[in-house]
Amino acid sequence: MCLGIPGQIVEIIDAEKKLGKADVSGVKRVINLACIVDEDNPIQSTIGQWVLIHVGFAMSKIDEQEASRTLQLLNELGEAQREILEMELKQQ
Amino acid sequence: MKYVDEFRQPEKAEALFKAIDNLAAPLSDKLARAVHIMEFCGGHTHAIFRFGLEQRLSKSVELIHGPGCPVCVLPMGRVDDCVALAERPEVIFTTFGDAMRVPGSQKSLLQAKADGADIRMVYSPLDALNLAKKNPDREVIFFALGFETTMPSTALTVLQAAEGNISNFSLFCNHITTVPILESLLDSPTFNIDGFVVPGHVSMVVGEKPFATIAERYKKPMVITGFEPLDILQSLHMLLVQLQSGKPCLENQYARVVQKAGNIPGLMAMQKVFELREKFDWRGLGEIDKSGVKITEEYAAFDAERKFAVPNLKVDDPHECQCGEVLKGEIKPWQCKVFGAPCTPQNPLGALMVSSEGACAAYYSFGNTKELLDKRQEARPTK
């Protein structure tokens, strides 16, 4: 019920009705952009943007920098874990 | 797929499982039991089972699957109301697919459809609104359910209906709110959860503040979490670090999607269309104050409850069902008296067996049912 899927906005269909098209895994779907458009973020500025789509609505922009920050943290954790393992192996 | 595949890399999961084990073991020794972490959201429950995370975790961490599956907590009386609305000859009743098989006291929506009611599954509330435009001589009702995640979409659909003067469209509103139910669980004296995996997409709408307030008031670690396996594992790691340091707070693991203030346009639409109900009934948990919303006076014309006579009767769950105890984490799904026989996903007695997000259906579909039932048999007193 609460799940969403990432897609990239490729086209604005109707600026007044806030409708656009998003590419979701190669399939183009009409989605409503009302939740990601406001005075500071005009509808044309959303083209190219990755968004999280839920029941036909773009619910949130996906922040590229935050995504890579999370992955970076995961990498660091992986490396730290490897070091611990190596230390343990040496001690044995 | 971008933003999906990179959060599913098995070798990174390996490292996380080990890091979680290392942190959890001493904490569990200190507690003299496993560390109890509750994932509230049904979407997380589904992901945990789909990716087999639970089986891979060490015995030092126990995941408790919370009440965050909206289909599962829908009381039987509300399903009866849906059926009553759907069986009106002028009505086209529209719903998300998950709700079709939830048992009512007489029948489910699926059975009502087989009996001739015009019930249609839709992907979006906007599809329901389009049906109303195409069928001006019929009354189209959309079964609005779900937590805050789905509320902006239904609120915006009502606003569109109002703007376009679509008078044959209405909502049967069963939206529920996350914070009151979380508080009611935390207030229960028998509730012993050490930390929470916080729903990512509810947070995407409501923002960080409601959960930060709870984390502070109840001194519980909470982490807003995404829905890919690495998201969930990273969140567990963050919760354990918080437990180890003894400094519980709210953290946001899912910052790529969740902004601190939530979704402002969505919240504004919700505020126009919805207001809190005094209380709402939850299956297995009973009535909880201010835990649901209804449509405001301004948009009363789009409220199916005002437009049509709804029976609105309270119906008790089948007495052998233990859904409430499972929802509160007091028993595991397989410990319920009817798990696996006679309650199965094909023939569900309780709602937790219906949706793929329900804890019982997840255990039944992804677990070794025979092994679980043998375990239940062994655990029973022999006399």
Residues B271-292, mean pLDDT to the nearest whole number = 93
Q: For chain B, how far is it from start to end, CA to CA, in angstroms?
A: 56
Each residue of B230-240: pLDDT tens digit? 999 999 999 99
B259/B252 Cα distance (integer angstroms): 9
Tokens of B223: 């982490």
Domain boundary among B285, B317, B349: B317
Strand partners, B145: B174
CB-based contact B331:B337 (threshold 8 Å): no
pLDDT for the residue B268: 97
Average pLDDT score, chain A: 91
B121/B124 Cα distance (integer angstroms): 9
Give the CATH architecture of domain A1-61.
Answer: Roll (2.30)
Tokens of B83: 């059926």
| Closest approach of A81 to chain B, Cα-based (Å) | 6
Q: Are B336 and B243 found together in one domain? A: no
Residues B88-97, mean pLDDT to the nearest whole number = 96
Q: Are B367 and B232 found together in one domain? A: no
Position B374 confidence tier, pLDDT thresholds 50, 70, 90 = confident
Chain A CB within 8 Å of residue B148 CB = no
Q: Are B104 and B72 found together in one domain? A: yes
Position A87 confidence tier, pLDDT thresholds 50, 70, 90 = confident
Residue from the list B1, B145, B234 with its beta carbon closest to the beta carbon of A6: B1
Contact B96 A1 (CB under 8 A): yes
Chain A CB within 8 Å of residue B227 CB = yes
Lowest-pLDDT range, A56-65, B104-113, B362-371? B362-371
Q: How many domains does chain B have?
A: 2
Q: Are B330 and B312 found together in one domain? A: no
The β-bridge relationship of strands B279-282 and B286-289 is antiparallel
B356/B71 Cα distance (integer angstroms): 10
Would residue B262 be called left, alpha or beta, if left means φ above 0 and alpha means ψ between -120 and 50 degrees? left
The β-bridge relationship of strands B274-276 and B293-295 is antiparallel
Would residue A55 be called left, alpha or beta, if left means φ above 0 and alpha means ψ between -120 and 50 degrees? left
Chain B CB within 8 Å of residue A73 CB = yes
CB-based contact B64:B36 (threshold 8 Å): yes
Q: Are B329 and B313 found together in one domain? A: no
The answer, yes or no, to whether residue B382 has pLDDT greater than 50, is: no
CATH no. for residue B51?
3.40.50.11740
| Helices then strands, each counted (H, E), chain B | 16, 13
What's B318's DSSP letter? Answer: P
Each residue of B302-360: pLDDT tens digit? 999 999 989 888 888 888 889 888 888 888 899 999 999 899 988 888 878 888 788 89
Q: Are B311 and B342 found together in one domain? A: no
Contact A6 B256 (CB under 8 A): no
Cβ–Cβ pairs < 8 A, chains A and B: 135
Helix axes B151-163, B264-273, angle to 10 degrees: 60
CB-based contact B129:B166 (threshold 8 Å): yes
User: A interface mutation test: which of B256, B259, B268, B273 has the most A CBs within 10 A?
Assistant: B256
Residues B220-226, mean pLDDT to the nearest whole number = 98
Q: Are B237 and B353 found together in one domain? A: no
H-run or E-run covering B82: helix B76-86
Question: Would you say the ipTM is above 0.95?
Answer: no
H-run or E-run covering B27: helix B10-31
- The distance of Cα B305 from the centroid of its chain, to the nearest Å, equals 23
What's B296's DSSP letter? Answer: -
pTM: 0.94
Q: Are B245 and B169 found together in one domain? A: yes
B28/B61 Cα distance (integer angstroms): 8
B279/B285 Cα distance (integer angstroms): 12
Helix axes B229-245, A64-91, angle to 10 degrees: 70
Q: Are B264 and B303 found together in one domain? A: yes
| Closest approach of B16 to chain A, Cα-based (Å) | 7
- Ordered by start, the domain boundaries in chain A are 1-61, 63-92
Residue from the list B98, B153, B205 with its beta carbon closest to the beta carbon of A56: B153
The answer, yes or no, to whether residue B11 has pLDDT greater than 90, is: no
| Closest approach of A74 to chain B, Cα-based (Å) | 7
Go through B33-59 and write b for each residue having 16 or more CB atoms within 10 A of its CB, e for each that does not.
ebbbbbbbbbbbbbbbbebebbeebbe
CB-based contact B323:B316 (threshold 8 Å): no
Each residue of B29-78: pLDDT tens digit? 999 999 999 999 999 999 999 899 988 998 999 999 988 888 888 888 99
Residue B187 sits at the vertex; the CA angle it makes with B186 and B189, to the nearest 5 degrees, is 100
Which residue range(s) make up the domain with B337? Answer: 323-379
DSSP code per residue over B329-373: TSS-GGGSTTBTTTB-SSS-SSGGGTSTTSHHHHHHHHS-HHHHH
Q: Are B264 and B365 found together in one domain? A: no
Residue B32 class from Cβ within 10 Å (0-12 exposed, 13-18 middle, 19+ buried)? exposed
Position B220 confidence tier, pLDDT thresholds 50, 70, 90 = very high
Residue A21 dihedral angles phi and psi, to the nearest 5°? -115, 135
- Backbone CA torsion sign across B63, B64, B68, B71: positive
Residues B290-313, mean pLDDT to the nearest whole number = 95
Lowest-pLDDT range, B36-45, B169-178, B297-306, B360-369? B360-369
Q: Helix H segments across A2-92?
A: 64-91
